[in-house]
Amino acid sequence: MTDFTVLNPATEQPVTTVTQASAEETDFAIGRAAAALPAWRAVAPGDRARLLRAFAASVDAHLEELAGLEVTGSGHPIGAARWEAGQVRDVLQYYSAAPERLIGQQIPVSGGLNVTFREPVGVVGLIVPWNFPMPILSWGLAPALAAGCTVVAKPAEATPLTALRIADLALEAGLPEGVFQVLAGKGSVVGQRLVDHPAVRKIVFTGSTEVGRSIMAACAQQVKRVTLELGGKSANIIFADCDLERAAATAPYAVFDNAGQDCCARSRILVQRSVLDKFMALLEPAVQGVAVGDPASAATEMGPLISAAHRSHVASFVPDGAPVAFRGHAPSGPGFWYPPTVLAPVRPDDPAYTEEVFGPVVTVTPFSDEAEAVAVANDTPYGLSGSIWTSDVGRAIRVARAVETGNLSVNSHSSVRYWTPFGGFKQSGLGRELGPDAPDAFTETKNVFISSEGS
Protein backbone atom coordinates (compact mmCIF):
# COMPACT_ATOMS: atom_id res chain seq x y z
CA MET A 1 0.00 0.00 0.00
CA THR A 2 1.45 3.42 -0.91
CA ASP A 3 0.45 6.91 0.10
CA PHE A 4 0.27 10.04 -2.03
CA THR A 5 0.63 13.49 -0.55
CA VAL A 6 -1.68 16.04 -2.14
CA LEU A 7 0.04 19.45 -2.34
CA ASN A 8 -1.66 22.83 -2.40
CA PRO A 9 -0.40 24.19 -5.76
CA ALA A 10 -0.66 27.78 -4.49
CA THR A 11 1.51 27.22 -1.40
CA GLU A 12 3.39 23.95 -2.10
CA GLN A 13 2.26 22.84 1.38
CA PRO A 14 0.86 19.33 1.99
CA VAL A 15 -2.95 19.22 2.20
CA THR A 16 -3.46 15.57 3.11
CA THR A 17 -2.26 12.08 2.36
CA VAL A 18 -4.31 9.62 0.35
CA THR A 19 -3.83 5.87 0.28
CA GLN A 20 -3.47 4.53 -3.24
CA ALA A 21 -5.32 1.43 -4.30
CA SER A 22 -3.40 -1.61 -5.51
CA ALA A 23 -4.25 -3.83 -8.51
CA GLU A 24 -5.82 -6.36 -6.09
CA GLU A 25 -8.00 -3.67 -4.49
CA THR A 26 -9.02 -2.57 -7.96
CA ASP A 27 -10.07 -6.12 -8.80
CA PHE A 28 -12.07 -6.23 -5.58
CA ALA A 29 -13.87 -2.97 -6.44
CA ILE A 30 -14.62 -4.22 -9.94
CA GLY A 31 -16.07 -7.39 -8.38
CA ARG A 32 -18.31 -5.28 -6.12
CA ALA A 33 -19.45 -3.21 -9.10
CA ALA A 34 -20.28 -6.38 -11.06
CA ALA A 35 -22.18 -7.78 -8.07
CA ALA A 36 -24.16 -4.53 -7.69
CA LEU A 37 -25.12 -4.43 -11.37
CA PRO A 38 -28.15 -6.78 -11.49
CA ALA A 39 -29.96 -4.99 -8.68
CA TRP A 40 -29.07 -1.51 -9.98
CA ARG A 41 -30.26 -2.18 -13.53
CA ALA A 42 -33.47 -3.62 -12.06
CA VAL A 43 -34.28 -0.46 -10.08
CA ALA A 44 -37.45 0.94 -11.62
CA PRO A 45 -36.70 3.94 -13.87
CA GLY A 46 -38.63 6.37 -11.68
CA ASP A 47 -36.75 5.20 -8.58
CA ARG A 48 -33.37 5.46 -10.32
CA ALA A 49 -34.34 8.99 -11.33
CA ARG A 50 -35.25 9.83 -7.70
CA LEU A 51 -31.91 8.48 -6.46
CA LEU A 52 -30.00 10.60 -9.00
CA ARG A 53 -31.97 13.66 -7.92
CA ALA A 54 -31.16 12.88 -4.26
CA PHE A 55 -27.48 12.57 -5.24
CA ALA A 56 -27.67 15.96 -6.99
CA ALA A 57 -29.28 17.48 -3.88
CA SER A 58 -26.56 16.03 -1.69
CA VAL A 59 -23.87 17.60 -3.91
CA ASP A 60 -25.76 20.88 -3.79
CA ALA A 61 -25.83 20.79 0.02
CA HIS A 62 -22.02 20.35 0.05
CA LEU A 63 -21.13 22.79 -2.73
CA GLU A 64 -18.90 25.00 -0.58
CA GLU A 65 -17.07 22.04 0.90
CA LEU A 66 -16.39 20.55 -2.55
CA ALA A 67 -15.31 23.91 -3.96
CA GLY A 68 -12.97 24.40 -1.00
CA LEU A 69 -11.35 21.02 -1.64
CA GLU A 70 -10.68 22.00 -5.26
CA VAL A 71 -9.16 25.31 -4.17
CA THR A 72 -6.68 23.70 -1.78
CA GLY A 73 -6.13 20.42 -3.63
CA SER A 74 -6.00 21.67 -7.25
CA GLY A 75 -5.36 25.42 -7.02
CA HIS A 76 -8.59 26.36 -8.80
CA PRO A 77 -9.91 29.88 -8.13
CA ILE A 78 -12.87 29.72 -5.76
CA GLY A 79 -15.30 31.19 -8.30
CA ALA A 80 -14.37 28.50 -10.82
CA ALA A 81 -14.42 25.77 -8.17
CA ARG A 82 -17.96 26.74 -7.16
CA TRP A 83 -19.00 26.53 -10.80
CA GLU A 84 -17.35 23.10 -11.12
CA ALA A 85 -19.14 21.71 -8.05
CA GLY A 86 -22.39 23.20 -9.38
CA GLN A 87 -21.73 21.46 -12.67
CA VAL A 88 -21.71 18.06 -10.88
CA ARG A 89 -25.09 18.88 -9.35
CA ASP A 90 -26.52 20.10 -12.65
CA VAL A 91 -25.24 17.15 -14.68
CA LEU A 92 -26.71 14.68 -12.17
CA GLN A 93 -29.97 16.60 -12.24
CA TYR A 94 -30.02 16.70 -16.05
CA TYR A 95 -29.40 12.95 -16.45
CA SER A 96 -31.86 12.09 -13.71
CA ALA A 97 -34.45 12.59 -16.46
CA ALA A 98 -32.86 9.88 -18.60
CA PRO A 99 -33.89 6.61 -16.89
CA GLU A 100 -37.54 7.28 -17.74
CA ARG A 101 -36.67 8.10 -21.35
CA LEU A 102 -34.47 5.11 -22.28
CA ILE A 103 -37.08 3.89 -24.70
CA GLY A 104 -36.67 1.44 -27.56
CA GLN A 105 -38.53 0.99 -30.81
CA GLN A 106 -41.21 -1.35 -32.09
CA ILE A 107 -40.59 -2.36 -35.69
CA PRO A 108 -43.29 -4.18 -37.70
CA VAL A 109 -41.95 -7.24 -39.49
CA SER A 110 -43.49 -10.09 -41.40
CA GLY A 111 -44.85 -12.77 -39.06
CA GLY A 112 -44.58 -10.75 -35.88
CA LEU A 113 -42.98 -7.77 -34.23
CA ASN A 114 -39.51 -6.57 -33.41
CA VAL A 115 -38.87 -4.57 -30.25
CA THR A 116 -35.61 -3.05 -29.12
CA PHE A 117 -34.35 -2.58 -25.56
CA ARG A 118 -31.55 -0.32 -24.29
CA GLU A 119 -29.58 -2.62 -21.99
CA PRO A 120 -26.91 -1.18 -19.69
CA VAL A 121 -23.45 -1.97 -21.01
CA GLY A 122 -22.30 -3.19 -17.57
CA VAL A 123 -19.48 -2.07 -15.29
CA VAL A 124 -17.91 1.20 -16.49
CA GLY A 125 -14.32 2.24 -15.73
CA LEU A 126 -14.08 6.03 -15.60
CA ILE A 127 -10.57 7.50 -15.82
CA VAL A 128 -10.37 11.22 -15.05
CA PRO A 129 -7.54 13.76 -15.56
CA TRP A 130 -6.32 16.33 -13.02
CA ASN A 131 -7.39 19.49 -14.79
CA PHE A 132 -11.16 19.41 -14.11
CA PRO A 133 -11.59 16.67 -11.49
CA MET A 134 -15.26 17.38 -10.75
CA PRO A 135 -16.96 18.20 -14.08
CA ILE A 136 -15.21 15.44 -16.02
CA LEU A 137 -16.09 12.88 -13.36
CA SER A 138 -19.75 13.87 -13.60
CA TRP A 139 -19.83 13.83 -17.42
CA GLY A 140 -19.18 10.08 -17.43
CA LEU A 141 -20.73 9.18 -14.10
CA ALA A 142 -24.22 10.66 -14.43
CA PRO A 143 -25.26 9.18 -17.82
CA ALA A 144 -23.68 5.83 -16.92
CA LEU A 145 -25.70 5.57 -13.69
CA ALA A 146 -28.81 6.78 -15.49
CA ALA A 147 -28.40 4.00 -18.06
CA GLY A 148 -28.24 1.38 -15.29
CA CYS A 149 -24.47 0.83 -15.31
CA THR A 150 -22.29 0.64 -12.21
CA VAL A 151 -19.12 2.75 -12.13
CA VAL A 152 -15.60 2.45 -10.77
CA ALA A 153 -13.88 5.83 -11.15
CA LYS A 154 -10.20 6.66 -10.94
CA PRO A 155 -9.36 10.32 -10.40
CA ALA A 156 -5.89 11.52 -11.33
CA GLU A 157 -3.26 10.70 -8.73
CA ALA A 158 -2.65 14.42 -8.07
CA THR A 159 -6.31 15.44 -7.55
CA PRO A 160 -8.35 12.70 -5.81
CA LEU A 161 -10.04 14.71 -3.05
CA THR A 162 -13.29 15.88 -4.63
CA ALA A 163 -14.02 12.56 -6.34
CA LEU A 164 -13.55 10.69 -3.05
CA ARG A 165 -15.93 13.08 -1.31
CA ILE A 166 -18.51 12.84 -4.12
CA ALA A 167 -18.50 9.03 -3.70
CA ASP A 168 -19.36 9.52 0.01
CA LEU A 169 -22.18 11.87 -0.97
CA ALA A 170 -23.59 9.24 -3.34
CA LEU A 171 -23.87 6.75 -0.48
CA GLU A 172 -25.36 9.37 1.83
CA ALA A 173 -27.96 10.10 -0.87
CA GLY A 174 -29.02 6.46 -0.89
CA LEU A 175 -27.20 4.95 -3.87
CA PRO A 176 -26.66 1.26 -3.09
CA GLU A 177 -23.17 0.04 -2.12
CA GLY A 178 -21.01 -0.86 -5.11
CA VAL A 179 -22.95 1.23 -7.64
CA PHE A 180 -20.40 4.06 -7.63
CA GLN A 181 -16.90 3.62 -6.22
CA VAL A 182 -13.85 5.86 -6.41
CA LEU A 183 -10.34 4.43 -6.20
CA ALA A 184 -7.43 6.81 -5.72
CA GLY A 185 -4.25 5.55 -7.30
CA LYS A 186 -1.87 5.54 -10.19
CA GLY A 187 -2.90 5.33 -13.82
CA SER A 188 -0.38 2.58 -14.39
CA VAL A 189 -1.96 0.48 -11.59
CA VAL A 190 -5.65 1.28 -11.05
CA GLY A 191 -6.27 2.74 -14.53
CA GLN A 192 -4.51 -0.10 -16.27
CA ARG A 193 -6.46 -2.70 -14.29
CA LEU A 194 -9.76 -1.05 -15.22
CA VAL A 195 -8.72 -1.26 -18.86
CA ASP A 196 -7.53 -4.87 -18.65
CA HIS A 197 -10.20 -6.42 -16.41
CA PRO A 198 -12.73 -8.39 -18.50
CA ALA A 199 -15.65 -7.51 -16.19
CA VAL A 200 -15.25 -3.82 -17.09
CA ARG A 201 -17.28 -3.48 -20.27
CA LYS A 202 -16.61 0.16 -21.10
CA ILE A 203 -13.82 2.65 -20.46
CA VAL A 204 -14.50 6.37 -20.42
CA PHE A 205 -11.12 8.03 -20.59
CA THR A 206 -10.28 11.71 -20.52
CA GLY A 207 -6.63 12.66 -20.72
CA SER A 208 -3.70 12.94 -23.07
CA THR A 209 -3.78 11.65 -26.63
CA GLU A 210 -0.68 9.57 -25.89
CA VAL A 211 -2.30 7.61 -23.02
CA GLY A 212 -5.65 7.52 -24.85
CA ARG A 213 -4.01 5.83 -27.82
CA SER A 214 -2.58 3.06 -25.60
CA ILE A 215 -5.96 2.62 -23.86
CA MET A 216 -7.72 2.29 -27.20
CA ALA A 217 -5.24 -0.40 -28.25
CA ALA A 218 -5.68 -2.28 -24.96
CA CYS A 219 -9.48 -2.07 -25.19
CA ALA A 220 -9.28 -3.57 -28.69
CA GLN A 221 -8.01 -6.83 -27.14
CA GLN A 222 -11.45 -7.40 -25.59
CA VAL A 223 -13.44 -5.31 -28.08
CA LYS A 224 -14.19 -3.20 -25.01
CA ARG A 225 -16.33 -0.10 -25.55
CA VAL A 226 -14.34 3.09 -25.17
CA THR A 227 -14.97 6.82 -25.21
CA LEU A 228 -11.88 9.01 -25.50
CA GLU A 229 -11.71 12.73 -24.70
CA LEU A 230 -8.15 13.77 -25.52
CA GLY A 231 -5.92 16.75 -26.19
CA GLY A 232 -6.45 19.88 -28.24
CA LYS A 233 -4.72 22.75 -30.01
CA SER A 234 -7.68 24.89 -30.85
CA ALA A 235 -7.84 28.05 -32.92
CA ASN A 236 -9.47 31.35 -32.07
CA ILE A 237 -10.07 32.81 -35.55
CA ILE A 238 -10.47 36.59 -35.66
CA PHE A 239 -11.73 38.13 -38.90
CA ALA A 240 -11.29 41.83 -39.63
CA ASP A 241 -15.06 42.43 -39.73
CA CYS A 242 -15.70 41.31 -36.14
CA ASP A 243 -16.23 43.24 -32.91
CA LEU A 244 -12.47 43.41 -32.36
CA GLU A 245 -12.74 44.94 -28.87
CA ARG A 246 -14.84 42.02 -27.66
CA ALA A 247 -12.70 39.42 -29.40
CA ALA A 248 -9.57 40.84 -27.75
CA ALA A 249 -11.19 41.28 -24.34
CA THR A 250 -12.33 37.64 -24.21
CA ALA A 251 -9.34 35.99 -25.92
CA PRO A 252 -7.35 35.69 -22.63
CA TYR A 253 -10.25 33.83 -21.00
CA ALA A 254 -10.51 31.50 -24.00
CA VAL A 255 -7.00 30.22 -23.29
CA PHE A 256 -5.94 31.17 -19.74
CA ASP A 257 -9.00 29.75 -17.99
CA ASN A 258 -7.80 27.17 -15.43
CA ALA A 259 -4.28 28.51 -16.10
CA GLY A 260 -4.48 27.12 -19.64
CA GLN A 261 -4.88 23.58 -18.29
CA ASP A 262 -7.96 23.17 -20.42
CA CYS A 263 -8.40 20.75 -23.32
CA CYS A 264 -10.55 23.40 -25.05
CA ALA A 265 -7.98 26.19 -24.64
CA ARG A 266 -7.92 28.34 -27.77
CA SER A 267 -4.12 28.33 -27.69
CA ARG A 268 -3.61 29.52 -31.27
CA ILE A 269 -5.02 32.96 -32.02
CA LEU A 270 -5.32 33.47 -35.79
CA VAL A 271 -5.89 37.11 -36.79
CA GLN A 272 -6.67 38.60 -40.19
CA ARG A 273 -3.52 40.48 -41.17
CA SER A 274 -5.28 43.81 -41.84
CA VAL A 275 -6.26 44.14 -38.15
CA LEU A 276 -3.27 42.41 -36.55
CA ASP A 277 -1.64 45.53 -35.07
CA LYS A 278 -4.93 46.87 -33.73
CA PHE A 279 -5.79 43.47 -32.22
CA MET A 280 -2.40 43.16 -30.50
CA ALA A 281 -2.79 46.65 -29.03
CA LEU A 282 -6.16 45.60 -27.57
CA LEU A 283 -4.95 42.19 -26.42
CA GLU A 284 -2.01 43.47 -24.35
CA PRO A 285 -4.04 45.27 -21.65
CA ALA A 286 -6.57 42.42 -21.62
CA VAL A 287 -3.80 39.90 -20.86
CA GLN A 288 -2.25 42.15 -18.26
CA GLY A 289 -5.66 42.59 -16.66
CA VAL A 290 -6.09 38.88 -15.90
CA ALA A 291 -6.16 38.62 -12.10
CA VAL A 292 -3.62 35.91 -11.20
CA GLY A 293 -3.20 35.08 -7.53
CA ASP A 294 -4.56 33.47 -4.38
CA PRO A 295 -7.18 30.91 -5.48
CA ALA A 296 -9.14 31.46 -2.27
CA SER A 297 -9.82 35.09 -3.23
CA ALA A 298 -13.09 35.73 -5.04
CA ALA A 299 -11.36 38.29 -7.28
CA THR A 300 -8.87 35.75 -8.66
CA GLU A 301 -9.35 34.68 -12.27
CA MET A 302 -6.30 32.45 -12.71
CA GLY A 303 -4.48 30.28 -10.17
CA PRO A 304 -1.23 28.32 -10.24
CA LEU A 305 -0.31 25.33 -12.36
CA ILE A 306 -0.88 21.88 -10.89
CA SER A 307 2.73 20.96 -10.02
CA ALA A 308 6.38 21.95 -10.25
CA ALA A 309 6.93 19.30 -12.93
CA HIS A 310 4.08 20.65 -15.03
CA ARG A 311 5.38 24.23 -14.65
CA SER A 312 8.77 23.07 -15.98
CA HIS A 313 6.98 21.43 -18.90
CA VAL A 314 5.05 24.63 -19.68
CA ALA A 315 8.19 26.75 -19.33
CA SER A 316 10.01 24.53 -21.84
CA PHE A 317 7.76 26.01 -24.56
CA VAL A 318 9.13 29.48 -23.78
CA PRO A 319 12.91 29.05 -23.82
CA ASP A 320 15.36 31.96 -23.65
CA GLY A 321 14.98 33.97 -26.83
CA ALA A 322 11.37 32.90 -27.38
CA PRO A 323 9.33 35.56 -29.21
CA VAL A 324 7.45 36.87 -26.15
CA ALA A 325 5.20 39.72 -27.33
CA PHE A 326 3.95 40.50 -23.82
CA ARG A 327 3.05 38.82 -20.54
CA GLY A 328 0.62 39.18 -17.69
CA HIS A 329 1.44 38.97 -14.02
CA ALA A 330 1.98 36.10 -11.57
CA PRO A 331 2.87 36.07 -7.88
CA SER A 332 6.44 35.34 -6.84
CA GLY A 333 7.33 33.07 -3.92
CA PRO A 334 5.85 29.65 -3.15
CA GLY A 335 3.33 28.17 -5.57
CA PHE A 336 3.54 26.78 -9.09
CA TRP A 337 2.92 30.13 -10.78
CA TYR A 338 3.36 30.95 -14.44
CA PRO A 339 2.31 34.26 -16.01
CA PRO A 340 -0.08 34.49 -18.99
CA THR A 341 2.27 34.65 -21.97
CA VAL A 342 1.68 35.73 -25.58
CA LEU A 343 4.11 34.58 -28.25
CA ALA A 344 4.31 36.38 -31.63
CA PRO A 345 5.46 36.04 -34.30
CA VAL A 346 6.01 32.27 -34.11
CA ARG A 347 7.52 29.95 -36.68
CA PRO A 348 5.11 27.28 -38.01
CA ASP A 349 7.37 24.56 -36.55
CA ASP A 350 7.65 26.16 -33.08
CA PRO A 351 6.48 23.52 -30.53
CA ALA A 352 4.49 26.26 -28.77
CA TYR A 353 2.49 26.55 -32.00
CA THR A 354 2.24 22.85 -32.90
CA GLU A 355 1.96 21.05 -29.54
CA GLU A 356 -0.54 21.17 -26.71
CA VAL A 357 1.12 23.32 -24.01
CA PHE A 358 -1.61 22.87 -21.36
CA GLY A 359 -0.54 26.08 -19.68
CA PRO A 360 -1.07 29.84 -20.03
CA VAL A 361 0.84 30.27 -23.29
CA VAL A 362 -0.80 31.42 -26.52
CA THR A 363 0.56 32.13 -29.99
CA VAL A 364 -0.70 34.77 -32.42
CA THR A 365 -0.46 34.12 -36.17
CA PRO A 366 -1.76 36.30 -39.02
CA PHE A 367 -3.76 35.03 -42.03
CA SER A 368 -4.83 36.71 -45.28
CA ASP A 369 -8.26 35.38 -46.15
CA GLU A 370 -10.97 32.89 -45.20
CA ALA A 371 -9.40 29.98 -47.09
CA GLU A 372 -6.07 30.48 -45.36
CA ALA A 373 -7.73 30.79 -41.94
CA VAL A 374 -9.47 27.44 -42.40
CA ALA A 375 -6.32 25.75 -43.73
CA VAL A 376 -4.22 27.02 -40.81
CA ALA A 377 -6.88 26.12 -38.23
CA ASN A 378 -7.02 22.57 -39.61
CA ASP A 379 -3.25 22.14 -39.82
CA THR A 380 -3.05 20.11 -36.59
CA PRO A 381 -3.67 16.49 -35.61
CA TYR A 382 -6.17 17.75 -33.01
CA GLY A 383 -9.77 18.90 -33.44
CA LEU A 384 -11.50 19.60 -30.15
CA SER A 385 -12.64 23.19 -29.96
CA GLY A 386 -12.33 26.68 -31.41
CA SER A 387 -13.91 30.08 -31.91
CA ILE A 388 -14.78 32.25 -34.91
CA TRP A 389 -15.19 36.02 -34.68
CA THR A 390 -16.98 37.72 -37.59
CA SER A 391 -20.04 39.88 -38.26
CA ASP A 392 -20.78 38.03 -41.52
CA VAL A 393 -23.26 35.24 -40.73
CA GLY A 394 -22.55 33.49 -44.04
CA ARG A 395 -18.85 33.37 -43.24
CA ALA A 396 -19.58 32.16 -39.71
CA ILE A 397 -21.52 29.22 -41.12
CA ARG A 398 -18.97 28.46 -43.86
CA VAL A 399 -15.99 28.51 -41.52
CA ALA A 400 -17.80 26.61 -38.76
CA ARG A 401 -18.58 23.85 -41.25
CA ALA A 402 -15.02 23.81 -42.64
CA VAL A 403 -13.07 23.72 -39.39
CA GLU A 404 -12.47 20.09 -38.40
CA THR A 405 -13.30 20.27 -34.72
CA GLY A 406 -16.03 19.02 -32.42
CA ASN A 407 -17.06 22.17 -30.53
CA LEU A 408 -17.09 25.71 -31.88
CA SER A 409 -18.35 29.06 -30.73
CA VAL A 410 -19.16 32.04 -32.95
CA ASN A 411 -18.62 35.47 -31.40
CA SER A 412 -18.17 33.83 -28.02
CA HIS A 413 -15.20 32.29 -26.28
CA SER A 414 -16.93 29.28 -24.77
CA SER A 415 -18.70 26.26 -26.25
CA VAL A 416 -19.10 23.66 -23.48
CA ARG A 417 -22.59 23.14 -22.08
CA TYR A 418 -23.75 19.92 -20.47
CA TRP A 419 -26.93 19.80 -22.53
CA THR A 420 -25.05 19.91 -25.86
CA PRO A 421 -22.82 17.13 -27.25
CA PHE A 422 -19.11 17.36 -26.54
CA GLY A 423 -16.13 15.55 -28.07
CA GLY A 424 -13.31 15.73 -30.58
CA PHE A 425 -12.49 15.18 -34.23
CA LYS A 426 -9.23 13.55 -35.35
CA GLN A 427 -6.80 12.80 -32.50
CA SER A 428 -8.85 14.79 -29.98
CA GLY A 429 -11.06 11.84 -29.23
CA LEU A 430 -13.61 9.22 -30.07
CA GLY A 431 -17.30 9.35 -29.26
CA ARG A 432 -19.34 12.11 -27.64
CA GLU A 433 -20.24 12.96 -24.07
CA LEU A 434 -22.93 15.28 -22.71
CA GLY A 435 -26.10 16.31 -24.52
CA PRO A 436 -29.38 14.40 -24.53
CA ASP A 437 -27.95 11.26 -26.18
CA ALA A 438 -25.10 10.60 -23.73
CA PRO A 439 -26.86 7.77 -21.85
CA ASP A 440 -27.20 5.87 -25.15
CA ALA A 441 -23.42 5.42 -25.14
CA PHE A 442 -23.79 3.39 -21.93
CA THR A 443 -26.30 0.99 -23.44
CA GLU A 444 -26.32 -1.77 -26.00
CA THR A 445 -29.33 -2.02 -28.30
CA LYS A 446 -31.00 -5.41 -28.05
CA ASN A 447 -33.33 -6.50 -30.80
CA VAL A 448 -36.04 -9.08 -30.01
CA PHE A 449 -38.33 -10.68 -32.60
CA ILE A 450 -41.70 -11.82 -31.24
CA SER A 451 -43.56 -14.19 -33.51
CA SER A 452 -47.29 -13.67 -33.89
CA GLU A 453 -47.71 -17.11 -35.40
CA GLY A 454 -48.69 -20.26 -33.51
CA SER A 455 -50.09 -20.31 -30.00
- Identified catalytic residue from 84, 229, 301, 356: 229
Known active-site residue 119? no
Cβ neighbour number for residue 68 with a 10 Å cutoff = 18
Residue ranges in 269-379 assigned as alpha helix (H): 276-288, 308-315, 351-354, 370-378
Residues 123-142 that bind ligand TAP (CB under 6 A): 127-132, 136
| Cα separation, 12 vs 431, whole angstroms | 37
Query: Taking CB under 6 A as the rule, does residue 192 contact ligand TAP?
Result: yes
Query: Taking CB under 6 A as the rule, does residue 99 contact ligand TAP?
Result: no
Instruction: For residue 72, count CB atoms less than 10 angstroms from its CB and return exposed for 0-12, middle for 13-18, buried for 19 or more.
Output: buried
- Nearest Cα to Cα of residue 236 among 194, 202, 203, 283: 283
| Cα separation, 219 vs 345, whole angstroms | 42
| 180 φ/ψ angles, rounded to the nearest 5 degrees | -140, 115
Residue in 75, 148, 232, 260 binding ligand TAP, rule: CB under 6 A? 232
- Identified catalytic residue from 149, 219, 242, 263: 263
- Closest to ligand TAP by CB, 304 or 424: 424
Residue 112: helix, strand or coil by DSSP? strand
Residues 256-285 that bind ligand TAP (CB under 6 A): 263
| Cα separation, 2 vs 290, whole angstroms | 39
Known active-site residue 264? no
How many of the chain's residues bind ligand TAP (CB under 6 A)? 32
Sheet holding 150-154, edge to edge: 180-182, 150-154, 123-127, 200-206, 225-229, 429-430
Query: Taking CB under 6 A as the rule, does residue 211 contact ligand TAP?
Result: yes
- Closest to ligand TAP by CB, 247 or 305: 305
Q: Kindly indicate which of the ranges 201-209, 313-321, 334-342, 390-398 contains the residues binding ligand TAP, using the contact rule CB under 6 A.
A: 201-209
Residue 68: helix, strand or coil by DSSP? helix
Q: Kindly indicate which of the ranges 23-31, 90-98, 149-157, 363-371 contains the residues binding ligand TAP, using the contact rule CB under 6 A.
A: 149-157
Residue in 133, 231, 340, 383 binding ligand TAP, rule: CB under 6 A? 231
Least distance to ligand TAP, CB of residue 191, Å: 2
Residue in 133, 140, 143, 207 binding ligand TAP, rule: CB under 6 A? 207
- Closest to ligand TAP by CB, 187 or 366: 187
Query: Taking CB under 6 A as the rule, does residue 182 contact ligand TAP?
Result: no
- Closest to ligand TAP by CB, 118 or 310: 310
- Closest to ligand TAP by CB, 203 or 271: 203
Active site amino acids: 229, 263
Residues of this chain that interact with ligand TAP (CB under 6 A) are 127-132, 136, 154, 156-157, 186-188, 191-192, 195, 206-208, 211, 214-215, 229-232, 263, 356, 358, 384, 424, 429
